Structure 1
Amino acid sequence: MQLTIQNLSKTYSNGVQALRDVSLNIPQGMFGLLGPNGAGKSTLMRTIATLQDADSGSITLDGIDVLQDKQAVRECLGYLPQDFGLYPRINAETMLNHIAQMKGIGNARERKDLVSFLLNRVNLYKDRKKALGTYSGGMRQRFGIAQALVGSPRLIIVDEPTAGLDPSERNRFYNLLSEIGENTIVILSTHIVEDVNTLCSNMAIICMGEVLMQGKPHDGLAEVSGRIFQKAIEKTDLDHYREEYNVISTKLIEGKLSLRVESDTAPGNGFEPAAAELEDVYFSYISKKVDPITI
């Protein structure tokens, strides 16, 4: 099972080119799509989910032409957008039953069994009678996954799913997505490097509508291994260091700015070698397109 995207482009009516000749091969399993806000991730996800058209290019899912045969795609798609609406006064059980009915599961007994199975899977069964408006952020996201799983989809898209979740809810969500990704294509669109590092066996980095890198996380790490150096500096010296070195990221720690630079050789001047992290891979590519980001 594979999703193939070839030469996909999209320009909005205001002149913003959201996608520039995007090509990706996405196999079964967890696939991380990393990029800053405004990189084109949501545009790509919405296009795959048949919610908007592309200007050019193609998308195929196991022989299905995604851009032309939208109904066939929707029958095997689960989608959790970044912002999805809930009816706050309806409980989870009733809402999920309604969604299952809309997806063509007409038998009432079959729907009941499916709703119970899905609510148990996302650990919401004990809260099935609670109004959705009373759910925490993590519970809302888990309900979102439950509705995305109705109909046993072959492709699941989740857009910025862990933003705003506390650490315990994030871990629950990680575990749930990992289970789902064993037998399904799951595209995880996020700007949080930790999400991809924790979950994904394949990834891509996108910025300003262009794919900058795709492959396995360990391949990206191999590219920057031995090339990352760090040093603590005063914040007032940052501009000077940016002029002298290839600064890829900065982080404020206890009042000092921890600087990470990429270099073929040891830069000296107090810089020390640092173990490469996936975050370095991300910033190495992103910094070639935009100014280094302080995190």
Structure 2
Amino acid sequence: MALDPAVKNLIDTLNEQGLKSFEQMSIAEVRGVVESFSDLQAPNAVVARVVDTVYPGPGGDQAVRLYIPESETPLPIVVYIHGGGWVAGSLDVTEQPCRALAADAKVIVAALSYRLAPEHKFPAAPEDAFAALNWVVEHAADFGGDGTRVAVMGDSAGGNLAAVTALRARDTGAPVLRAQVLIYPVIDGTARFPSREENAEGYLVTTAAIDWFWEQYLATPEDAENPYASPAKAADLAGLPSTLLLLNEYEVTRDEGVDYGRRMADQGVPVQVELYEGLVHAVYWMTGAIPRSAELHGAVVEFLGKQFAG
């Protein structure tokens, strides 16, 4: 399918503005560009309460923001981990998608911050994410949540961290997760799939940029073989929770996601894979600029509704 017209218009506009590829920027520039995604988002949905607090991470307290809809009964919880190549991203730039998810899925969204690379390389981020999940489950009742109905969710590098968190929860036996939602996850530090060549340039996030993000994140090249850095390296995927995997046609990481979904399904994990033709990486954060980003949001809402039923 041809590139979605709204996506093409956005890419053309950014090219006219002279936007550089991420690997050509400084860390500060990358972080500024990622924060600017707020300008591409729809207006914020209304939720009953937004609570800023902290969870105790291995390297010290980290921020977590709770989006809590009105409810007279305990609500399911989605632990959301933002993307940004492990280098960038924040609670502020993901305010809109988190509010929309809480309002439309009728769930508590616990959006967490974590230590960023290159100042804090692997394994800092996944250690924080797993600590946050445990804190959320332990304190669920304090903010009206149901600690027996919990999912992890993330996009891009956050999808990596969500997948790793699900692996760690399975490996340790707790917390028990109902589901994982992986939105165009970056999950293979040595990936050599065709989409790396097919979509290497011209679709917002290049192959060179993905490689650069991995370089910022990993402490050593050998870390790319560690399943808690590259979940695609996990040989045993059995026992993972029900999974929604959202991928886009024109993205570098498409095929590693397809392969991960196939391997999970082969090992008995209930997997729903959605491949969106004409779309590119990062559209989940572009609700104001890319109307079809609503398709991804709708798929997440529908999937979580089924997983949390009962």
Q: State the TM-score, normalizing by the size of structure 1.
A: 0.27
When Rg is computed on C-alpha atoms for both structures, the one with the higher figure is 1
Higher percent of residues as strand: 1
Q: Which structure has the highest helix share of the two?
A: 2
